[in-house]
A = this chain, B = another copy of it.
Amino acid sequence: MNFIVETSARHVHVTQQDLETLLGKGAALTPKKDLSQPGQFACVERVDVVGPKKTISGVSILGPVRPATQIEVSLSDARTLGVVAPIRESGDINGSAGIKLVGPAGEVEVAQGLIAAKRHIHATPADAEKLGVKDKEIVKVRIQTAERSLVFEDVVVRVSEKFALAMHIDTDEANAAGASGEVYGEIVK
């Protein structure tokens, strides 16, 4: 069974408090586009991510607001910014890199929260059963493209009723796979 492989470009998740610091008191996120995972959306609002070496301007905020601010970048981005991004699952930000966010109304020094996302597959329990995998299982996924086919190892499966079946990779990984347009993956043994 094949599944879609989506590329996550650099993005930011914010707390309500950080959102108000960045965008002004009482600020709310304005949904622009629904994402594949139910309830998740890209926002109109953008912020600058300011590293010790360089700034990456106009980075998308993804909604809804979360209990912790988290900045997901590629390792290419991290090098541009001048920080070391650990490879982590979303939400696992303890001891990850700090960074500065700058919005139109103010700035936030985030003490930790910058990560490179560990490549992963979102699946419902029914999807997982069809794929023959379990929550937290580490699998290998082959992606076939015209010029840069590859097999990603170290892909973590995440299973929840709240998910929709999709694999997420970052832009470095998408580029390494020559993935553009609609790309599909397949679990290999």
Contact = CB atoms under 8 A, between A and B. Distances in A.
Given A153-B151, A177-B176, A171 B76 contact: yes
Q: How large is the interface on A (under 10, 10 to 19, 20 to 34, 35 or more residues)?
A: 20 to 34
Contact of A176 (B79, B149, B176): B176
Interface in A79-109: 79, 87
A118 B147 CA distance: 8
Given A175-B76, A175-B172, A176-B176, A150 B151 contact: yes
A14 to B, nearest CB: 25
Interface in A152-189: 152-154, 171-173, 175-178
A23 interface: no
A41 B115 CA distance: 34
B151 A147 contact: no
A171 B171 CA distance: 12
21 contacts: A74-B175, A75-B178, A76-B76, A76-B171, A76-B172, A87-B147, A87-B148, A87-B178, A119-B148, A147-B154, A149-B154, A150-B150, A150-B176, A152-B176, A172-B173, A172-B175, A172-B176, A173-B176, A175-B176, A176-B176, A176-B177
Contacts of A171: 76, 79, 172
Q: Among A118, A153, A176, which residue has the most Cβ atoms of chain B within 10 A?
A: A176
Nearest to A169: B176
Q: Among A79, A118, A148, A173, which residue has the most Cβ atoms of chain B within 10 A?
A: A148
A152 B150 contact: yes
Contacts of A79: 171
Contacts of A150: 150-154, 176
Contacts of A149: 153-154
Interface in A60-86: 74-76, 79
